Amino acid sequence: MDTKDKAIIWVLYLIVAMIIHLNLYAVITGAIIIGIAIKIIDANFANIIYWLQERFNINSRQ
């Protein structure tokens, strides 16, 4: 997961926050949750890709 992917996630979060009209506390809480989620996904990105390949039989010869 590179910086561009993280930026896309943050922009999508801000767009959703503006559409829903979240107050300041909700925006801050959501930003903390999104930040933690990005760190978890970034730390386990290789495992997530491996699981998706195994789950959907990507790159397998049949």
Counting every residue written for the chain, the total comes to 62
Measured between alpha carbons, how far is 14 from 17 in angstroms, rounded to an integer?
5
User: What average pLDDT does the segment 38-55 reach?
Assistant: 89
| Bigger pLDDT: 51 vs 62 | 51
Place of tokens 């390949």: 53
Q: pLDDT at residue 61 above 60?
A: no
Residue 60 pLDDT class (50, 70, 90 cuts):
low
Q: Record the pTM.
A: 0.68
User: What average pLDDT does the segment 40-56 reach?
Assistant: 89
